[in-house]
A and B are shown apart, each in its own frame.
Chain A
Amino acid sequence: MKWFISQETIRSPFKRILERDCGEKVSLCYQCGKCSAGCPIAFQMDYLPNQVMRMIQLGMEEHVLSSRTIWLCASCLTCSARCPREIDVAEIMDYLRRRAYRKGIIPLEETEIPLFNKIFLRNIELFGRLYEMGLIGMFNLLSGEFFKDISLAPKMFLKGKIGIFPKRPKHMKELRKIFKNSEKLGRVKRSRLLQPRLIFLNVFRKFIGKVERLK
């Protein structure tokens, strides 16, 4: 893919805002590529981590936020641990995801991860602790992969590894308050869980995929 980088892009405040909000000096990155060299997920990424850093330096907000890379990053911190300029690349990836969330930019191919995050958090909000059965069920339902891992379920169940019913701690009210307050103070709009666009995209994509394969 070729791009044209305009002067406006370069002068956009993106880098400044990022450096302010996540406290990492992206300007220091000298593109040594050590982050990319060690990234375990790089083989699936559309841009290598060092390219993401570069695009931030050049103010290419849209490209960065709509990249798959930021969603695929596993937060393994290999990059941050080894960057010679002491840039916490993983933290920047986190920040970019949060920003993409807020702006509602999610690449078509990578809808599962945000969806999963949402379901996960919702799950905790409802049950206090992770209710795996609910999580997997909900995720499969909403991501359009209805039967994924279904074969594992009975095994897991028999081994006593997942319960059918959730176990809730006592103070659920307090917990919901924590969620509410965090949203308010962090000024994040947690959009509805069942964000129709996300779900539609996902199911649609999976469906197309199935049809393609049938051909």
Chain B
Amino acid sequence: MKIGVFTCHCGTNIAATVDVEKVAQAAAEFPGVTFSTAYNYMCSDPGQNIVKKAIKEHALDRVVIASCSPSLHEKTFRKCVEDAGINPYLVEMANIREHCSWVHPEGEQTTAKAIELVRIAVAKVSRDRPLEMTYTPIEKKVLIIGGGIAGIQSAIDIAFANYPAVIVEREPSIGGRMASFDKTFPTLDCAACILTPKMVTVSQSEHVTIHTYSEIEEVTGYVGNFTVKIRKKPRSVDINKCTGCGVCYGKCPVRVPSEFDQGLGKRPAIYIPFPQAVPNVPVIDRESCLWFTEQKCGICQKVCPFGAIDYDMEDEIIEEKFGAIIVATGFQQFDYSVYGEYGYGKFKNVITGLHFERMVNSSGPTGGKIIKPSDGKEAREVVFIQCIGSRDEQKGVPYCSRLCCMYTAKHALLLREHNPDAQAYVFYIDIRAAGKNYEEFVKKVQDEYGAIYLRGRVSRIFEKGDKLIVRGADTLSGAQIEIEADLVVMATGLVAMPDAVSLAQMLHIPYDQNNLFTEAHPKLAPVETITSGIFLTGACQAPKDIPDAVATASAASVKALGLMVQDKLAREPLIARVIPELCSGCRACIEACPFSAIETEEIEDLRLRRKRTVVKVIEGVCTGCGICTTACRMSAIDLEGFSNRQIMEELAVL
């Protein structure tokens, strides 16, 4: 065995606290090590060349790289030694940067630890076995969870490449939040004008299937081979028979607050959420429909000219296979009713940004008039309060929601456009307008649209008569301010969906302390998750405006397409392996394996001279978790790359 050890300075990242040369010298003394050196940047081209050259010159057969975390460069060095003719699984990394030089002070102890980490890696590599990649087929279909602008864009991109995509949307229509907006910053395009064509494109694409009013029930499998159960909630309207003629919802006697209009308007029990809905097929809300609550009415069924109404429709579960999954579930608005000082959400004339969007929409419930919900009169003095729930550890989330500054500016502008007499007062802490043409937009609002920007948070709002008294401060002038307002608009932050955690757990993707899904790397892999084959886009990962949502949507589709275009998927051979001679056939491992990756097989036992049942691992399914190994009392099942011998060897040299 000829092991080569290569220690990296990483500039000063390692060398500043670890005596790298000393590590290299110490490593040279370890059993089996025939070559040891140090270099400034091991991962650079010259660094890799040093490895390759040493392998040739010293006939090395195993390699240890002492540098950064294997999560960064394990692949790099596997490739590097492979190029030099060694099996790529005969290389180990000692993490002397993240786990050593960066977290400990300069000194002997740190160098000593680095040496030990190398000793452990040398021990492990001495027990490595050469392994070969395995290959599995790929299901050439992409699942997109969430049909907001992000999900729609992903579907369009995938369909453009002629691969099939399936959108699963919980609501009766796709479109997401954007569907409810009037205009969008910074260009003030009408939201419907830019969203509707996209919705139509997906709905007409032969490659895209849309399941609205549906949810994900279960996800199993792994990259290239996900099996997904989709629950289609009963729409009570046959989507194939309905023509969207609209007779039914015109006749329905029920009126309940419309979710789409944020409760500002009303809708029947059978309804389409908004006129451009896709699909343009109504849904019966069984909680308010008289047929379901009181077993009477049935008008819609009587009037439907196409017999599309079906009260007996039931939940339907469909199971499909996918090669990749794109998560685009978006966000919800922060619920500001936790603020007692702002009236616990009880004041009628305190509304949120989404309310305002509906109000200002000329096809919305107020016909584009900005009114006081309490009495329907036009609002003149309108106060906007930014950072509601955002940047507030006490009552909300610590992060900045990133786009409420911008939509508030948009609202202030639209307010003036709709009512030239109105005055906007914007309470802000900072204005975060870092985007193309964003700062210019805010400037325009302040300059041309006369919005008064006041720098300070509001301490209290209370009702007095039909006015709202808003008590704030302007810290720039050092003054307190009290405004008698008709309407207060809360720029509530963007937070994770209520079911984000359960979805993440179903998909086995991580989420952060704010329940936002976590990307694989914040800079280098912003749309990937650490679970291969699952990608993120839109506001479910972090607050994003429409341009960012669309950009990440295309990025995620490219990542998914990158899988689709491959014929088969190379899989790491770091999976479980059974030694049939040792296996007693007890099936304990089958019980333990969360992925059902183990099955039984009959073998001819040469010693017993009879057939015997043992188990075997299904290569494409095993994820390499190693859970089975601890279940086996015979040590008959072991995990490649992290085998019992490898780990015991590591422990032995401690």
Contact = CB atoms under 8 A, between A and B. Distances in A.
A and B touch in the complex (CB under 8 A): yes
Nearest to A31: B475
A83 interface: yes
B459 interface: yes
Interface string A22-58: 0000000011111111110011000110110000000
Contacts, number: 73
A78 interface: yes
Contacts of B393: 84-86
A32 B457 contact: yes
Contacts of A148: none
Interface stretch (B276-284, B291-299, B439-447, B466-474): B466-474
B475 A43 contact: no
B178 interface: no
Contact of A84 (B391, B471, B475, B481): B391
Contact of A33 (B341, B395, B456, B460): B456
A82 interface: yes
Nearest to A36: B473
A33 B471 contact: no
A36 B341 contact: no
Interface string B517-530: 00000000000000
B478 interface: yes
B391 A33 contact: no
A33 B394 contact: no
B314 interface: no
Contacts of B391: 30, 84
A44 to B, nearest CB: 11
B429 A37 contact: no
B394 A85 contact: yes
Interface string B387-398: 100011111100
Nearest to A32: B457
A85 to B, nearest CB: 6
B392 A33 contact: no
Contact of B395 (A35, A36, A43, A84): A84
Contact of A51 (B394, B459, B460, B478): B478
A48 B341 contact: no
A42 B460 CA distance: 15
Interface in B363-396: 387, 391-396
Interface in B527-557: none
A33 to B, nearest CB: 3
Contacts of B457: 32-34, 37, 84
Contacts of A47: 478
B455 interface: yes
B472 A48 contact: no
A34 B456 CA distance: 7
Contacts of B459: 34-38, 78, 82
A198 B341 CA distance: 40
Contacts of B475: 31-33, 36, 48, 50-51
B634 to A, nearest CB: 56
Interface string A134-149: 0000000000000000
B551 to A, nearest CB: 30
Contacts of B392: 84
Interface in B186-220: none
Interface in B469-506: 471-475, 478, 480-481
16 contacts: A30-B391, A31-B475, A32-B429, A32-B457, A33-B474, A34-B458, A36-B480, A37-B456, A37-B471, A42-B473, A48-B480, A50-B473, A84-B391, A84-B393, A84-B396, A85-B394
Interface of B: 341, 387, 391-396, 429, 455-460, 471-475, 478, 480-481
Given A34-B457, A83-B394, A85-B394, 16 more contacts: A30-B391, A30-B429, A32-B429, A33-B473, A34-B473, A36-B456, A36-B459, A36-B473, A36-B475, A36-B478, A37-B459, A37-B480, A38-B341, A38-B460, A48-B473, A84-B392
